[in-house]
Amino acid sequence: MAVARYIKDEKDQIIDVIYESGIHVKPSYSPSDLAAIGFDYEKDLADPGNYPYTRGIHPLGYRSRAWTTRQYTGFGTPQETNERFKLMISHGQTGLNVAFDLPTQMGYDSDDEMAEGEVGRVGMAVDTLRDFEIAFKDIRLDKIGSGLTINAVASIMLAMYQAVAEKYGYDPKVISATPQNDILKEMIGRGAWIFPVEPAVKLIGDTIEYSMKVLPRTNPVSVCGYHIRESGATPAQEIAFAILIANAYIDNVIARGYDVDDFVGRFSFNLNVFGNMWEQIAKFRAARKLWARNLKERYGVKKPQNLFLRGLFGGGGYGLTKAQPENNIMRGAYYALVAALSGAQTTALCSYDEAYTIPTPHSALISLRTLQLLMDEVGLRDTVDPLAGSYFIETITKQMEQKIEEEMFKIESYGGIIKAVADGYAQRMVARQAYEVEKGIESGELLKVGVNIYKEGESMEVELHEYNYESAEKQIESLKQVKRERSSSEVARTLKALENATREGKNVMPYLVDCCKAYATLGEMTGVFRQIFGEFQEPSLF
Amino acid sequence: MGDNEKRIKVLIAKPGLDGHDRGGKVVAQALKEAGMEVIYSGLHRTIDQIINTAIQEDVDVIGLSIMTGAHIPITQKLMEKIRQKGITDKMVLVGGVIPSRDIPKLKEIGVAGVFPGGTPLAETIEFIKNNVKKA
């Protein structure tokens, strides 16, 4: 696999451009390039809102509705998170995106030995329903959707979200949660896995099945090519893995006897925006087309709206640099432009200080304003898919489609995504590519401003979000209080019912909701699963 | 460095709950390509697990990769255990998201070298080759 690079002659003239996914770029493009790839408007593009949706899933794009901005937020205690939510809503943010601390992501209570020093550090600590009651107080859960950045224990957090909504008087049918809930990508990239591959995928199947029946406005899975790309994958690999992972979840639910048309319309994607901008735009357009075709041809999906690749295109974390961090504000603006030119439904932007820490209120606001000014000030809402018809963009979109299919073929030839993840084949592919990129940066083949070119300039210490030991202690104290006040017999009863249901292979969701309502802790519920499922054994790197 | 010398053995370890392993894995691959024997711990290791692996595998170097901001307490805990177990001959390195103002603190605790994200791989490789204690 290639690293993006520019081949130059002795006069600094570019003689070849090669993108990360392996596409060679020519000095200029003309109608003959479109003829050479057999470009057909109706087949390859079609009007916006028409199959194969290369140009976008909606005929009017941002004219009918600007994108949803969903900056990642969540700090320390549920109280602080609630305050931050309200602040972001008052700034015009239209959806929440909840960050959880690592103990929560890994299913440990705040008073667990494993949680020491991590409580509330990179997001909100959640132990029981009480924490959600505080975090979502006075938030209109019927009006505002919540992204929940949680995977291994997404089933538990989704149950808790339903429990808090019911507690505040909302019908589960009107609430809209988007738990990330993509465990295969955690195993390839982000690392917040707990259970082995098969039971972990089964839990995801449970959330999809349950949402279909009880939480119809919830998007139970957000497939994250994002983190796979962050971990090193090329743009083509990012999409290839994301589609195959989504298929693995579809297969789990189909095996339960459901029609794919009944649930797949709620799937969404979280994809990354850093890198060469043309390559990213081609990637998003190709991804929409391939996803629609995959659903139609492989799964026989019938309803057009179920073929939509709906997604959050954003972030760009790996593209940001620690050197000259203020440059990241400009990088973020270009990445956001890529997302807008690619027709993102939802977006969020990594803040300029993310190479150091989670964003400060100041940096998060700069990111939000960056997104807002694209929509409201410089004209990204004017027309749908403004780059359509460009000889260059259409040629590389088609080439990107082929590169993605080649990557999908590699994994399928290996034995499928589940086997590739369980054996570490996928992880090694991504780690190898990360190493190639690093070597490319070091050799100067891959240019990064402030890192290996234009290095002179001011450096700065970024303002760090300090770890608050007092907040952690308060959280542990609040957990103790909940434990004193709750009915221990009700906790024992609901946990026992969860255990039985898990052993019998039933859908665990209703049992989790009961546990949450009884104020069972996250650690107690996860403990039931750990005991029955065991833990994922990470395959070797070499 | 001659071929007949003992190969340097390095444990790249991910302590704690953080799952960001891109950097750790990149460094592991670079050290391996530089001729060292590399063991990668995998994610979510406790300090005790890291120490046990370091002893069992008799490594020369323990490289911690920490991205969460908890580098000071984690490293303190590791150094305490190293003293308890009497394996102070092992060189300890720290990489990850480390603000520059914390580097002197880490060195005080007993860390031989700190390599924040963005450090050239060659610098880490050279540092290990030049500073590792030969048995």
Tokens of B21: 């392993």
Instruction: Note whether B118 contacts A538, CB cutoff 8 Å.
Output: no
Q: Count of alpha carbons within 13 Å of A446, Cβ hemisphere only?
A: 18
Residues A205-243 pLDDT 10s: 999 999 999 999 999 999 999 999 999 999 999 999 999
**What does residue B66 show for φ and ψ, rounded to 5 degrees?**
-130, 125
Cβ contacts of A449 within 8 Å, gap of 6 or more? A321, A324, A327
Q: How many domains does chain B have?
A: 1
Q: Which residue, A4, A60, A129, is CA-closest to A491? A: A129
Query: What radius of gyration, in Å, describes the C-alpha atoms of chain A?
Result: 23
Amino acid A512: pLDDT? 98
Query: What does DSSP assign to residue A463?
Result: P
Amino acid A536: pLDDT? 97
How confident is the model over B11-32, as a mean pLDDT? 95
Instruction: Note whether B70 contacts A438, CB cutoff 8 Å.
Output: no
Question: Which neighbouring-strand residues pair with A269?
Answer: A223, A311
How many C-beta neighbours within 10 Å does residue A522 have?
30
How many C-beta neighbours within 10 Å does residue A277 have?
15
Amino acid A167: pLDDT? 98
**Does any domain span residue B3?**
no
Amino acid B69: pLDDT? 80
Return the residue of A nearest to B24 by Cα. Answer: A431
Q: Domain span at residue B29?
A: 9-130
Amino acid A456: pLDDT? 87
Q: Which residues of B touch A464 (CB under 8 A)?
A: 69, 99
Share of chain A above pLDDT 70, in %: 97
Return the residue of B nearest to A356 by Cα. Answer: B97
Domain spans in chain A, listed from the N-terminal domain onward: 5-443
Amino acid A462: pLDDT? 56
Instruction: Note whether A191 contacts B121, CB cutoff 8 Å.
Output: no
Lowest-pLDDT choice from A47-51, A144-148, A219-223:
A144-148
Nearest CB among B21, B40, B70 relative to A191 is that of B21
Instruction: Note whether A461 contacts B69, CB cutoff 8 Å.
Output: no
Average pLDDT of chain A is 94
Residues A320-352 pLDDT 10s: 988 898 999 999 999 999 999 999 999 999 998
Q: Which residues of B touch A102 (CB under 8 A)?
A: 16-18, 68
pLDDT at B3 over 80: no
Instruction: Band the pLDDT of A437: cuts 50, 70, 90.
Output: very high
Q: How far apart are CA A172 and CA A390, in angstroms?
A: 46
Q: How far apart are CA A176 and CA A178, in angstroms?
A: 7
Instruction: Note whether A191 contacts B30, CB cutoff 8 Å.
Output: no
Torsion A330-A335-A340-A345 (CA) sign: negative
Amino acid A388: pLDDT? 97
pLDDT at A377 over 70: yes
**Does any domain span residue B50?**
yes
* CATH number of the CATH domain containing B107: 3.40.50.280
Instruction: Note whether A121 contacts B43, CB cutoff 8 Å.
Output: no
Give the rounded distance of the alpha carbon of A136 from its chain centre. Answer: 22
Nearest CB among B42, B99, B117 relative to A538 is that of B42
Q: Which residues of A touch B77 (CB under 8 A)?
A: none
Q: Which residue, A16, A63, A43, is CA-closest to A394? A: A43
On whether any CB of chain A is under 8 Å from the CB of B35, the answer is no
Amino acid A3: pLDDT? 67
SS3 A96: strand
Domain A5-443, architecture per CATH: Alpha-Beta Barrel (3.20)
Residues A191-203 pLDDT 10s: 999 999 999 999 9
How confident is the model over A444-450, as a mean pLDDT? 90
Query: What radius of gyration, in Å, describes the C-alpha atoms of chain B?
Result: 14
Give A489 or A451, the one with higher predicted confidence: A489
Residue to substitute from B10, B11, B31, B44, interface A, most A β-carbons within 10 A: B44
Average pLDDT of chain B is 92
Q: Which residue, A159, A246, A177, is CA-closest to A217? A: A177
Torsion A292-A297-A299-A304 (CA) sign: positive
A59 cis-preceded (ω within 30 degrees of 0): no
- A:B CB pairs within 8 Å: 92
Instruction: Band the pLDDT of A361: cuts 50, 70, 90.
Output: confident
How confident is the model over A358-370, as a mean pLDDT? 87
Could you tell me the strand order of the sheet in which B113-116 lies? B37-40, B9-13, B61-66, B91-96, B113-116
- Give the CA distances from residue A267 to residues A219, A295, B121, in Å, rounded to whole numbers and listed in that order: 6, 12, 40
Amino acid A468: pLDDT? 81
Whether the CB-CB separation of A189 and B23 falls below 8 Å is answered with no
Q: How far apart are CA A79 and CA A88, in angstroms?
A: 14
**Does any domain span residue B1?**
no
Instruction: Note whether A117 contacts B21, CB cutoff 8 Å.
Output: no
Tokens of A314: 């954003």
Amino acid A170: pLDDT? 98
How confident is the model over B20-30, as a mean pLDDT? 96
**What does residue B89 show for φ and ψ, rounded to 5 degrees?**
-75, -15
**Does any domain span residue B25?**
yes
Instruction: Note whether A321 contacts B118, CB cutoff 8 Å.
Output: yes
pLDDT at B135 over 60: no
ipTM of the prediction: 0.92
Lowest-pLDDT choice from A134-138, A250-254, A459-463:
A459-463
How many C-beta neighbours within 10 Å does residue B118 have?
14
User: Which amino acid belongs to residue A23?
Assistant: I
SS3 B41: coil
Cβ contacts of A10 within 8 Å, gap of 6 or more? none
**Does any domain span residue B124?**
yes
SS3 B93: strand
Nearest CB among A118, A230, A442 relative to B120 is that of A442
Share of chain A above pLDDT 90, in %: 83
pLDDT at A276 over 80: yes
